Structure 1
Amino acid sequence: MKHYVEEVGARVKVDEGIQVIEKLLLACYFHPGISTKELARRTFLPIPVAAAIKKELIREGALEQKNGVHCTKEANRWVERRCGYRGIDKALYLKLMEANINEAVRLPEMKVILEGLAEEFARRPQVNVQLDQSKCTPETSLRRAILCLKHHSLVGKKILCVGDDDLVNVSLGMLLQQLFPAMEVPQAQIDVVELDERFIRHIHEIADRAQLPIRCFPWDLRNPLPSEWHAQYDCFFTDPPYTLQGMSLFVSRGITALKQKKGLPVFLSFAHKSPDFMLAMNREFVRMGLTVHAAHQHFNQYEGAEMIANRSQMIILETTAVTDAQVKDAFCDALYTGEVKRTLRTYRCMQCGQEVFVGLQGEVATIEELKNQGCPGCKNDTFLMVEKRHLPPK
């Protein structure tokens, strides 16, 4: 079977990443007779670039131009076998893709998923506030799964959940089952790395009972991911501790697991923060070579999370040619909110040697803020932690 995406990607320079070629093929598969202008609109490409990709796909025997653009029989088989769309409920898929997120969640076909999620969520373990856990609603979990589908990152893909007390993996699996009613195991792989053994057992029980394509691995994200997980996944979800350290660590571990391609999505749920905090967080994104594709305010809803007004935002990031994890080694600093608030650390500037106290009781609240501000003496942004003291609780 031909490798249409790779072969065309080698001949057409696509700054957006070769995944956009697959998206263009999918648009032709689900909308036979589509115009070149509409292909450009659906793939967010300039019309000349979309036309160039179309021309090369015609040359490869994947597309044909007759009253619009159509997939050939060979390309239809490629989409179904190679991309994993064989057996999909096309009517439901198109409904979900055309509707906005809130409309999609309310579709009649989603009712059975929400009912199943409500049952499973009622049985999930109590949250551990020391790990910054909180309970998202079933509707929120399903919204995340539909968002993944809309970004062409669900069907036929390898998905990683970097920590998952929100059971997004279960929503992803149930959505796949609804989209592929005649298939026992839809063509996708959903993996979870999670520290809390209670949630690991709960996820295993759900996956076995509902026959979902989910694997769950116990792992402390303070430690680097094993090499066999590196560069394996097409996207990842994370709802990390709402500290800059937590965000940087969880996103870094996810980047390590992502395939080394441009344009792969990162689904980051994070609390609404002040402009200064968001500026520091965006600088962290830049350090990691990520770009912000979209930010949906009040996307996530939680039960009993009054500290964040029971809401958080969904930030969709995308990889670039220079994406790289900020945290690669073992992480030994404060991570969770309680740790950050009651820990005082001393950092030494690697250039001039000046020492700075970091913590809510220090000169700067977090190391990320210190790196963004630079050393008070020389403005260098690299530091070495030389001492850490845990302050007594209030």
Structure 2
Amino acid sequence: MDVRQLSEEVTAKTKVDTTVRDVEKVISGLASSSHFWEIVCTVQKPFSVVAEIIGALRERGLVSVDQDGAITLTRQGQEFLKDNSIAPRRDYTCPACEGRGIGLEKIKEWMQKFDELTVDRPKAIIDYDQGYITTASVMARVALMTERGDLEGKKLLVLGDDDLLSLAAGLTGMPKEIVVLEIDDRLVNYINEKASKLNVPVKAFKYDFRDKLPEQYVGYFDTFNTDPPETLEALEVCMTRGLSSLSGEGCAGYFGLTRTEASLKKWSQFQQMLLSKFKVAITDIIDNFNHYVNWDYLLGSIRDDYSFVQVKPKLNWYRSSMYRIETVSGFEKIENKPMPCELYVDEEALIYKPEKSR
């Protein structure tokens, strides 16, 4: 098999740059798992790229797919693995912290309180490309903010709050004030209702990222948190809103970025934007920090041309890396204006049909 030719075919079909090394990583993943969603999770390449590589490998006789969607290397595939010195993927993730570097045992009480508080949380819906992270993920993010000195006694802005991070932070009693700007009326009402019962300083308001930031919040906060859609336009909009809200140098922003919907090329473009346009330093990137709970509408909103894709996930496969950025000397006020753009769809998006969100 000509691996370079295969990678070029996948690039042409997906419009996402695909390398020989990407193909090798997928084959390595196939050597350790037969479940498509686990392979997507571990290979850390855009969803469409992984699907097309596996489809191309099947066409070439290197993998087979059974009636349940399980993917297996054929004898020819095993020989290719051996001939090209490709080893099965190995996993040395710490089971105690799930790779986050935050001891979950130390925040066990927070996690329990959060679960009890949010047992009746609104379900993720397709309308706003929603999906929320696990309890361990959201409370570990709160712990990370606390550890970095960005939460206790601070004013926190949460831009979009599927994860209910505002309530997670509020129940610790640490922040001075928390404001949520969220487009979904269900979440706005839910957060305000729970905050009132908890008697914590959390207020939620309806807001669309594309609208200018409310003037009273420009330069007001110490810290912001968001989990932006991953088109470059959406990333720019969300960073503009978050950074516009910060009061000056030494303030921090937290957000997640996947490899499932953002290639390393996009990561590079985004990081250049952060450093050159916004005058911040990237202080932390923690791989696979945020694990997402599987959302109900997944299989109905993605491509259905490969049987191995239309298989219910067996694990929390959708994950994002945790970014922390900090404003540095030279950080200036950013123009606060409407920014109309496409938030959800580009070549690397998980969604397959343009009329649907994710």
Q: TM-score, normalised by structure 2?
A: 0.60
Q: Does 1:285 align with 2:293?
A: no
Indicate the SS of the match to 2:118: helix
1:335 paired residue number: 343
In structure 2, how many angstroms separate the alpha carbons of the residues matched to 1:392 and 1:194? 22
Identical columns (%): 24
> Which amino acid in structure 2 is aligned with residue 241 of structure 1?
P
**How far apart are 1:332 and its partner, in Å?**
1.6
Q: Alpha carbons of 1:114 and 1:329: their partners in 2 closer, same or farther (altered >3 Å)?
A: same
List aligned pairs for 1:225-264, cutoff 5 A: 225-260=213-248, 262-264=249-251
In structure 2, how many angstroms separate the alpha carbons of the residues matched to 1:328 and 1:102? 36
Does the Cα contact within 8 Å between 1:131 and 1:241 map onto a contact in 2?
Answer: no
Does the Cα contact within 8 Å between 2:210 and 2:341 map onto a contact in 1?
Answer: no
In structure 1, how many angstroms separate the alpha carbons of the residues matched to 2:199 and 2:186? 20
> Which amino acid in structure 1 is aligned with residue 103 of structure 2?
A
Q: Does 1:121 align with 2:118?
A: yes
Q: TM-score, normalised by structure 1?
A: 0.55
> Which amino acid in structure 2 is aligned with residue 333 of structure 1?
C
2:320 paired residue number: 312
Match of 1:219 among 195, 202, 207: 207
Q: Structure 1, residues 160-210: CA drift from partner, whole Å, max 9, x if none?
A: 11111101111111122xxxxxxxxx6611111111110011101111111
Match of 1:143 among 126, 140, 153: 140
Q: Which has the higher contact order (CA 8 A, sep 6+)?
A: 2
Does the Cα contact within 8 Å between 2:102 and 2:140 map onto a contact in 1?
Answer: no
In structure 2, how many angstroms separate the alpha carbons of the residues matched to 1:208 and 1:165? 18
1:270 paired residue number: 257
Q: Alpha carbons of 1:324 and 1:196: their partners in 2 closer, same or farther (altered >3 Å)?
A: farther
In structure 2, how many angstroms separate the alpha carbons of the residues matched to 1:246 and 1:223? 12
1:158 paired residue number: 155
2:83 paired residue number: none
In structure 2, how many angstroms separate the alpha carbons of the residues matched to 1:191 and 1:200? 11
Does the Cα contact within 8 Å between 1:301 and 1:310 map onto a contact in 2?
Answer: yes
In structure 1, how many angstroms separate the alpha carbons of the residues matched to 2:168 and 2:228? 18
**How far apart are 1:285 and its partner, in Å?**
0.7
Does the Cα contact within 8 Å between 1:248 and 1:326 map onto a contact in 2?
Answer: no
In structure 2, how many angstroms separate the alpha carbons of the residues matched to 1:224 and 1:154? 25
In structure 2, how many angstroms separate the alpha carbons of the residues matched to 1:193 and 1:101? 27
Indicate the SS of the match to 1:228: helix
2:47 paired residue number: none
> Which amino acid in structure 1 is aligned with residue 140 of structure 2?
R
Does the Cα contact within 8 Å between 1:163 and 1:239 map onto a contact in 2?
Answer: yes
Indicate the SS of the match to 1:318: strand
Q: Give the count of matched residue pairs.
A: 235
Indicate the SS of the match to 1:136: coil
In structure 1, how many angstroms separate the alpha carbons of the residues matched to 2:100 and 2:143? 7
Does the Cα contact within 8 Å between 1:192 and 1:214 map onto a contact in 2?
Answer: yes
**How far apart are 1:326 and its partner, in Å?**
6.7
Q: Alpha carbons of 1:208 and 1:323: their partners in 2 closer, same or farther (altered >3 Å)?
A: same
In structure 2, how many angstroms separate the alpha carbons of the residues matched to 1:296 and 1:281? 16
List aligned pairs for 1:2-151, cutoff 5 A: 102-107=101-106, 110-151=107-148
The alignment's C-alpha RMSD in Å is 2.8
Does the Cα contact within 8 Å between 2:290 and 2:320 map onto a contact in 1?
Answer: yes
2:286 paired residue number: 296
Does the Cα contact within 8 Å between 2:151 and 2:175 map onto a contact in 1?
Answer: no
Q: Structure 1, residues 223-256: CA drift from partner, whole Å, max 9, x if none?
A: 1112111111001001011221111111110111
Q: Alpha carbons of 1:325 and 1:299: their partners in 2 closer, same or farther (altered >3 Å)?
A: farther
**Structure with more strand by fraction:** 1
Indicate the SS of the match to 2:219: coil
Q: Which has the larger radius of gyration?
A: 1
